[in-house]
Amino acid sequence: MSVLEEVLFSGYIAQGPKSDEFEKRFGEWVGNPNTVLTSSCTGALALSVRQALDSGEPTEKPNVVSTPMTCIATNTPIREAGAAIKWADVEEDTGNISAASIDETIDEDTRAIMLVHWSGMPADLDAIHRVAQKHGVPVVEDSAHALGALYKSKKIGNHSEYACFSFQAIKHITTIEGGAVACKKPEDAERITKLRWFGLNRKEQRDSIKGFEEYAGAGYKMNTNDVSSAIGLEQLKYLDGIVTRHKENAKTLKSELDGTVGFPRVADGADPSYWILTILVEPDKKRAISDSLSAQGIDNSVSHTRNDIYKGLGNEALGDDSAVARFDARKLNIPCGWWLTQDDLQRIANATKEAVKNA
Ligand SMILES: Cc1ncc(COP(=O)(O)O)c(C=O)c1O
């Protein structure tokens, strides 16, 4: 790749001009100029939670109301930032956090609401924002699965205070490792720009004698670099096509498998970007279905385990009668990525029918 060679031999591989260009162009693609590149989505989430805590009313015991049906990366940043996690339940038919459960769970020490758009299927943002506004707390969207998804005709990245994206190896696009946060307020983007690099604004021209004079408070090392950004700029050229292929592939599989397996409901106003396709099967048949798919050469997995059962995150699990327990028991994920051909899709559909029939 000549663009990579150009950066690698340029004498400048750290965060510099390529990163500025990718940051601007990715923000334009999302439609939000307050977009900041980070080292990963986990980094973007950590910076967002930190900024939400720092800009809220101080409290001795802050908490964040969060979804258990997600990757551990959604929730570890909350604990790292020194807040407790309060689990809200999910909607059983979507797997996404329930606005009603947030409303029941939230208290006066809640400083943010954390959600994930499970598998790229947008959560019910209008209902969640109504609850957030009632309690005066910001919303962080873990959008790692949802690059290119729309809610009410707008790309994810334009609805809440913070929306965090992943460019890790197996996401819609990759920079090997990388991420971004799209902020609603320019001042949040400005502070996160500093916090991602120790608390200093690396983008400002440094006076070589004075050095940096402004410090935004103890920050992190969660910046990007020009090698990743050069890859990102190339990937961006294909992003629209990639998202379209994910959507079309999911549509083909959903129509082929209609009546064979269940699917999570698409929320009103949502247009998912289907990072993976979640199918819903009978819990006692899931192991057999999964084994059969694997034997037929079809990748499948539960992807993420409900987080509330992880004692290390420090709160009581929601219990066996919760919606998250039922969703988690039924869900299995199959591929629907851009690289699949029509023959691949037919093979996945046939293998799934065979697996369900024999389970
Ligand atoms: C829902 C979710 N959030 C966050 C992440 C973390 O992304 P990253 O590897 O870019 O930190 C992942 C990774 O798979 C994920 O699935």
> Can you tell me which atom of ligand 1 is nearest the CA of 142?
3
* Rounded distance from Cα 225 to ligand 1 centre (Å): 19
Give residue 210's pLDDT: 77
**Which residue numbers are catalytic?**
171
User: At 270, which amino acid appears?
Assistant: A
Q: Answer whether CATH 3.90.1150.10 is correct for domain 239-358.
A: yes
Give the residue carrying structure tokens 């987080």.
307
Give residue 205's pLDDT: 65
The one-character DSSP state at 311 is G
Q: Whose CA is nearest to atom 9 of ligand 1?
A: 168
* Rounded distance from Cα 353 to ligand 1 centre (Å): 30
Give residue 206's pLDDT: 66
> Can you tell me which atom of ligand 1 is nearest the CA of 40?
10
- Extract the tokens encoding 105: 């769970």
Asked if residue 195 lies in contact with residue 220, where contact means CB atoms within 8 angstroms, the answer is yes
Mutate to test the pocket of ligand 1, among 37, 41, 273 (most ligand atoms within 8 A of CB): 41
Q: Where are the alpha helices (DSSP H) in the chain?
A: 2-8, 17-30, 41-55, 72-80, 99-105, 125-135, 186-195, 226-236, 239-256, 286-295, 323-330, 342-358
Q: Where are the domains of the chain?
A: 2-236, 239-358
CATH number of 2-236: 3.40.640.10
Give residue 235's pLDDT: 97
* Rounded distance from Cα 71 to ligand 1 centre (Å): 6
CA distance 309 to 111: 23
Give residue 143's pLDDT: 98
CA distance 203 to 31: 21
H or E, element range at 166: strand 162-166
Written as tens digits, the pLDDT of the chain (359 aa) is: 799 999 999 999 999 999 999 999 999 999 999 999 999 999 999 999 999 999 999 999 999 999 999 999 999 999 999 999 999 999 999 999 999 999 999 999 999 999 999 999 999 999 999 999 999 999 999 999 999 999 999 999 999 999 999 999 999 999 999 999 999 999 999 999 999 999 998 877 667 777 887 888 889 999 999 999 999 999 999 999 999 999 999 999 999 999 999 999 999 999 999 999 999 999 999 999 999 999 999 999 999 999 999 999 988 899 999 999 999 999 999 999 999 999 999 999 999 999 999 99
- Extract the tokens encoding 194: 């500093």
